Copies of this chain bind each other. A is one copy, B any other.
Amino acid sequence: MNQRAWLTLAYGYISVAELLLLKERFGAIDAIAAQSEQRLRDAGLPGNKAQKVASPNSAALDDASEWLADERHHIVAYGSDDYPELLTQLSGPPLLLFVNGDIDALHLPSLAVVGSRNPTRGGIQNAVNFSRHLTRSGFAIVSGLAQGIDTAAHRGALEVGGRTVAFLGHGIDRVYPPQNHDLAHQIAATGALVSEYPLGAPPDKRHFPERNRLISGLSLGTLVIEAARRSGSLITARLAAEQGREVFALPGSIHNPLARGCHELIRQGAKLVETAADIAAELPHLAIHLQQNLIESTPNQSPLPDQDGDYAKLREMLGHDPTSIDELERRCGLTIDQLSSMLLILELHGEVESLSGGRYALIA
């Protein structure tokens, strides 16, 4: 492919619809990028775009070429073999994807896991939990690298050695929010960071809804963990439904304002899910594939943490009666953070049940 020509079109904000128009008139990508502003205008391209393609910002293109020198950095053009089939089905597919990581990660059966940037602790646990289980069921996890549920979703996948894809609302060479710098590195190491924006493009409010169509678009379904009414996650869910993909939502307490968005989705027809298995059950065409992945992934599961003195103590102090984490803090002499993490691990191993009111109990 002619990288420079593709970058020129992408930096001119050419849409796929416009690309198809220009190809009909001028043939190959190289030929399009070589046209004068007037000829591009005559072909129907708006003036500002024609100008940008005919007189590109050479320094910006040089920066992009330099960025592409890294072997983990790629651009994936519309129509190429590397371009994800599911994105071609969108009404406005991206012309060019900037990818930091493994392009193969864009071709796995994927599920989007999204939600509030300010979730409850329970919401974070649920996001990690579902993400881990879905990863083990053979799905790649797609999200948006935002704080809160997105972060928990990416982390859950990474923790069990899975692949996760983050779509960014800004240039691929930036990280936003800054505290997710390390997480972004981990995602790129085994999965992929993906953006359709030019290098250096800042996080822009208008980009995020656009970006959301790619999160839902690459995914067979979108799972909303916790979301307020009128929040970005509901936009992603709406886009998923418009794209003919499944929408899944976690119910929650009627007193949790972050369950309201999920309840709204369920009322509108989203599938109510309680477990990762509920999601797999809705995607039966993947059953065989998932079954294979499940068998392959089983040996990778971490062993039960039963040798560790702290875990033995926690089990003993917990028992089968619902017990709050505050009470466990008193009984075990461990910090809330330690307990929280240990309880989550025991929960993921099916040893501990998380109950209402932030209480826990051993499963009999």
Contacts and interface: CB of A to CB of B under 8 A. Distances in A.
A251 interface: yes
A172 B258 CA distance: 45
> Which bucket holds chain A's interface residue count?
20 to 34
Contact of A358 (B263, B354, B358): B358
Interface stretch (A82-90, A119-127, A185-193): A119-127
B272 A266 contact: yes
A274 interface: yes
A48 interface: no
A324 interface: yes
Interface in A250-291: 250-256, 258-260, 263, 266-267, 271-275
Given A251-B254, A254-B275, A256-B355, 8 more contacts: A122-B253, A122-B356, A251-B252, A251-B259, A252-B253, A256-B356, A260-B274, A326-B326
A303 interface: no
A207 B263 CA distance: 36
A299 interface: no
Contact of A254 (B121, B250, B267, B271): B250
8 contacts: A121-B357, A251-B266, A252-B253, A256-B356, A258-B356, A263-B274, A266-B272, A324-B358
- When all copies of this chain in the complex are counted, the total is 2
Nearest to A260: B274
A287 B126 CA distance: 39
A20 B77 CA distance: 78
A256 B259 CA distance: 14
Interface of A: 120-122, 126, 250-256, 258-260, 263, 266-267, 271-275, 324, 326, 353-358
Nearest to A273: B254
Interface pairs A-B: 10 shortest CB-CB = A251-B251, A357-B358, A256-B356, A255-B354, A254-B274, A120-B356, A253-B356, A266-B272, A263-B272, A267-B272
Listed residue (A254, A256, A260, A326) with the most chain B CB atoms within 10 angstroms of its CB: A254
B356 A255 contact: yes
Nearest to A126: B254
A234 to B, nearest CB: 16
Nearest to A267: B272
Contacts of A353: 255
A137 to B, nearest CB: 17
A355 B257 CA distance: 8
